[in-house]
Amino acid sequence: MITLYTANARIAVQTQIQYRAANYFYMIGMIAEPVVYLVVWSTIANANGGSIDGLTAKDFAAYYIVWTLVRNMNIVLTPFAWEERIKDGTFSGQLMKPVHPIHEDLAQFMGWKLVVLVLWIPLAIVLALLFKPSLSPTMLQCAVFFFAIWGAYFIRAIMQWSLGLITFWTTRVGAIFEAYYLSELLLSGRVFPLVLTPHWFQTLTWFFPFRWCFSFPIVALTGPIENRDLFIGLGMQLAWILFSIGLLAIVWPRAVRRFSSVGG
């Protein structure tokens, strides 16, 4: 199994490194998003006498620059890919293999991340020079961050892989996926740091996997966060990973049973 992962990851590295221009296009498009949020919130903080809810412009800069790394780690197979896979017959081939097809996807996206990480560094330096973040994590925070970004990857990858399986029941999946993404946008800390939201809203986010994929890894590095919360966060990530594996175990066999291909 480890060989399967390393082999697939290596293929992904070799492939993606050839498409540097495409990868940069992708990343610049992606980085535009947090820059918008960052500008909006620092404008408000500055107009408000330097900070809102204890966050200064420099804190927002740290939050959204770490955001770009977390977001890169968060890139997973889009659920929209299933439509294409079923239509063009790729899926039939995947079914023939002796291992669960999710492993191949997980491994390839992990490999891609190594390339993305290298390409990300210059962009992060430019953003840091432009927005001057204040960031001073402890050793423990750095260690937790390292695990948290992978935890976020696995939650998001397995959840969205399972979500994509809806395609086996209906082809009109656009609105469903859109609703999922927009919930994620609001409940994850992707648009605004969750500390800015009302208390009831913050409680609500505990019932969804989203905050463990964005807010938690980001705040783990930028702070302020108690040591206790760092471990609670990792625990919650583990719980959601187990939950998503359980979900997949239930949905996958039923989805495959619905699949029929022509001449596949």
Nearest-approach distance from CB 22 to other proteins, in angstroms:
5
> Which residue of 7, 40, 95, 256 would you call a contact of other proteins, by CB under 8 A?
40
Q: How many residues does the chain have?
A: 264
| Contact track, other proteins, 121-150, x by CB under 8 A | ---------x--------------------
Tell me the chain's radius of gyration from C-alpha atoms.
Answer: 19
Coil, helix or strand at residue 51: strand
Stretch that binds other proteins, among 46-54, 112-120, 146-154, 226-234 (CB under 8 A): 46-54
Phi-psi region of 136 (alpha: psi -120 to 50; beta: other; left: phi over 0): beta
| Contact track, other proteins, 201-240, x by CB under 8 A | ----------------------------------------
Nearest-approach distance from CB 243 to other proteins, in angstroms:
25
What are the helix (H) ranges across the chain? Answer: 2-18, 20-47, 57-73, 81-88, 90-96, 101-131, 139-164, 174-187, 199-205, 215-222, 227-258
* Contact between 84 and other proteins per CB under 8 A: no
Q: For residue 152, which of 239, 64, 70, 235 has the smallest C-alpha distance?
A: 70
Q: For residue 52, which of 63, 41, 62 has the smallest C-alpha distance?
A: 41
Contact 76, 139 (CB under 8 A): no
Q: 59 vs 237, which CB is nearer to other proteins? A: 59
Q: 92 vs 197, which CB is nearer to other proteins? A: 197
| Contacts of other proteins in 162-191 (CB under 8 A) | 172, 174-175, 178-179, 182, 185-186, 191
Nearest-approach distance from CB 24 to other proteins, in angstroms:
8
* Contact between 197 and other proteins per CB under 8 A: yes
Residues linked to residue 56 through DSSP beta bridges, in sequence order: 51
Stretch that binds other proteins, among 45-53, 103-111, 117-125, 256-264 (CB under 8 A): 45-53
Q: For residue 236, which of 262, 210, 197 has the smallest C-alpha distance?
A: 210
| Residues at the contact surface with other proteins, assessed by CB under 8 A | 19, 21-23, 25-26, 28-33, 35-36, 39-40, 43-44, 47-48, 52-53, 130, 172, 174-175, 178-179, 182, 185-186, 191-192, 196-197
